[in-house]
Amino acid sequence: MPSLTADLTLLVANAFEAAGLPPELGVVAVSNRPDLGQFQCNGALPAAKTARRKPRDIADDIVARLKDAPALSDLSVAGPGFINISVSDAEIARRVAALDDDPRSGVTPAAGETVVLDFGGPNVAKPMHVGHLRSSIIGDSLQRLFRFLGYRTVSDVHMGDWGLQMGMVISEIAIRYPDLPYFAEGAAGPFPTESPIGLDELEQLYPQASAACKADPERLEAARRATALLQSGHPGYTALWRHCMTVSKAAMERDFASLGVQFDLWKGEADVNDRIPGLVDRLKAEGVAIESQGALVIPVAEEDDTTEIPPLILLKSDGAVMYGSTDLATIADRQDAIAPDLALYVVDQRQHLHFEQVFRAARKAGIDGGMGLEHIGFGTMNGPDGKPFKTREGGVMKLQDLIRMTTDKARERMVEVGLDRESPSEEAPVATGGDVDETVARQVGLAALKYADLSNHRKTNYIFDLDRFTRFEGKTGPYLQYAVVRTGALLRKAAETGAAPGPLAPPTAVEREVMLTLLQFPDAIAAAHDGRSPDDICEHLYALAQAFSRFYSACHILSEPDPAVKASRLTVVKITRDQMALGLSLLGIDVPEHM
């Protein structure tokens, strides 16, 4: 079923067309003056320029053409030509009733295209930290959204498992444990099946190796030699690399699982290493790649560029493979294996130039297969100083430590407001001092983290404020979770008394507000899809929770003496609960059964 806003836009667009005006001017939006009407159309103002008529005269003409539309209850013109529109209560009730037991809450699925979502991007031998949070949360929400809309989604973690970082790690292991069989002269295996390095030591190796390489040119050269040997297929280095992969991947899976994030593919840069030589040779032969100052590059600048776009470097002057080569080979690999219609790269906004270079090079080389390539950039999570979030000691916080800290704060907050195992969830929370369910505390903590992140447009930076994020009032994940729990408790208590949802009755003003908000869900989903940003869903859920809170405060529900009115209001409660739970699931937020 098309959304109410979409149907109103079609209705008004037809009126504009009948008046000899461009139909695209008939766009209808939710009114910013609800005292004048539920919806508004401002198309008469731009129409006046081409029609050479007063905008108010045009607006009056459009209103006259719409006056007999059965779904509308009121039409008026305000100011210089703003068209105000209100929908009849019967039409609102009819549309809201159609949402009952609709698992999609009025959202029509899309056309089943295939989309690859590249996000996460952890590095082997490095612990996941707060820098991975936004990519993981945003990417996961987008994959949930696209899957919900009917796309065939393929998510790829795209690990950083190749290149100089691995050379640093391998050379560091060689310095510490030179007698390991991987470093023996001419060693060809078989090698041990168990890794000689555990996770804790592996996570310490890289920062120490990196620091040593920065301080000592000879140490850096050793890392480069190790990298070259690994990439050329050195048996011992390859076996050691596999051990590092196995140990790191287990930790990554644990960390992603703690966020509720899953991937379809666990590929990395190494998976396309064998494709690079042939790809480079072809691009050279076709003249797409050229030599420049000893390096091999693909020029990607275009005539209409307003800023300089440097060429994409494929190989450095020493023959070392660059990220550009790996990323191009990955596009070619995805085209061959998946043939997606669209590929979304959820990566820090600061990498935008790199992806612009890669995407242009892919199109120039003809390896994209016509797929859409989009960089879904995002800003940073900052500390109170406005700089990227750090620990109190100034270091980078591990992801597990961040989740633990947030869970602890959520548990503390739940005790403060009395949301423990003994709290009556259908009423306002009352402090009881009871024990907090640890599973619920973790769900609340993750909701605080995810909603705080996703409620901002992805390109904006935001300040990490744990006290504010974990509150049960205001624009927070815990507040929305509690709103859903309250509706569920209402429905359970109603069932215990023999009451059940039923046909919708003519709404009061506050009920009408909830119903109209419910009908805006498809618009929020469409906006989130088009903008590739889940904040539109967050905004809708918060608006719905507020509208429901006013409805809950103003209307008798369980105490309503009229059975028909009670049944109608329970239907509003049920649809609200279902839509909010659905919306939160698209954000990757779980809702506890009780709080």
Sorted by sequence, the CB contacts under 8 Å of residue 215 that are 6+ apart come out as none
Please report the beta strands in 49-103, taking only residues with DSSP state E, as ranges in sequence order.
Answer: 72-78, 82-87
Print burial letters for 512-551: b (CB count within 10 Å at least 16), e (below 16): bbbbbbbbbbbbbbbbbbeebbbbbbbbbbbebbbbbeeb
**How many residues are recorded in the chain?**
595
Quick check: 538 and 525 in contact, CB under 8 A? no
282: three-class secondary structure by DSSP: helix
- The helix or strand, by DSSP H or E, that contains position 114, with its residue range, turns out to be strand 114-118
Average pLDDT over every residue of 12-18: 98
d(CA 83, CA 80): 10
d(CA 205, CA 209): 6
Residue 190: cis peptide before it, omega within 30 degrees of 0:
yes
Q: How far is CA 276 from CA 271, 288, 319, 327, 465, in A?
A: 10, 15, 12, 10, 44
213: three-class secondary structure by DSSP: helix
Average pLDDT over every residue of 47-59: 94
d(CA 74, CA 52): 27
Span 476-530, pLDDT tens digits: 999 999 999 999 999 999 999 999 999 999 899 999 999 999 999 999 999 999 9
d(CA 397, CA 404): 11
Span 286-328, pLDDT tens digits: 999 999 999 999 999 999 999 999 999 999 888 878 889 999 9
Span 263-288, pLDDT tens digits: 999 999 999 999 999 999 999 999 99
Average pLDDT over every residue of 559-580: 97
Q: What is the pLDDT of residue 434?
A: 53
Average pLDDT over every residue of 340-352: 97
pLDDT bracket for residue 127 (50, 70, 90): confident
Mean pLDDT, the chain, whole residue set: 93
Quick check: 338 and 380 in contact, CB under 8 A? no
Does the CA dihedral 253-257-260-264 come out positive or negative?
A: positive
Q: Report the phi/psi class of residue 457: left, alpha or beta, with left for phi > 0 and alpha for psi in -120 to 50.
A: beta
477: three-class secondary structure by DSSP: helix
Amino acid at 508: T
First CA to last CA distance, the chain: 35
Cα Dmax for the chain: 90
Look up tokens 């008529």; give the residue: 53
pLDDT bracket for residue 245 (50, 70, 90): very high
Q: Are strands 39-41 and 82-87 parallel, antiparallel or unpaired?
A: antiparallel
Q: What is the pLDDT of residue 512?
A: 97
Q: What is the pLDDT of residue 426?
A: 44
Question: Hey, what are 488's tokens?
Answer: 């569920």
Q: Are strands 295-298 and 312-315 parallel, antiparallel or unpaired?
A: antiparallel
Quick check: 281 and 329 in contact, CB under 8 A? no
Amino acid at 3: S
Average pLDDT over every residue of 378-406: 86
Quick check: 540 and 454 in contact, CB under 8 A? no
Nearest Cα to Cα of residue 540 among 485, 572, 583, 576: 583
Amino acid at 503: P
Q: Crossing angle of helices 509-518/89-97, nearest 10°?
A: 50
Instruction: Tell whether the model's pLDDT for residue 422 goes beyond 70.
Output: no
Sorted by sequence, the CB contacts under 8 Å of residue 186 that are 6+ apart come out as none
Q: What is the pLDDT of residue 568?
A: 97
Nearest Cα to Cα of residue 137 among 378, 419, 462: 378
Q: What is the pLDDT of residue 420?
A: 61
Instruction: Tell whether the model's pLDDT for residue 395 goes beyond 90.
Output: no
pLDDT bracket for residue 421 (50, 70, 90): low
Q: What is the pLDDT of residue 431?
A: 37
Q: What is the pLDDT of residue 392?
A: 66
Task: For the chain, give the percent of residues with pLDDT over 70.
Answer: 97
d(CA 482, CA 323): 45
pLDDT bracket for residue 1 (50, 70, 90): low
- Beta-bridge partners for 41: 83
Q: Are strands 29-30 and 381-382 parallel, antiparallel or unpaired?
A: unpaired
Q: How far is CA 44 from CA 217, 240, 295, 557, in A?
A: 69, 69, 58, 43
- Beta-bridge partners for 118: 156, 345
Please name each of the domains of the chain with its CATH number. Answer: 4-87 (3.30.1360.70), 158-262 (no CATH), 267-378 (3.40.50.620), 399-586 (1.10.730.10)
Quick check: 407 and 448 in contact, CB under 8 A? no
Look up tokens 């640890």; give the residue: 438
4 burial type by CB count under 10 A (0-12 exposed, 13-18 middle, 19+ buried)? buried
d(CA 286, CA 278): 12
Question: Hey, what are 469's tokens?
Answer: 């994020």
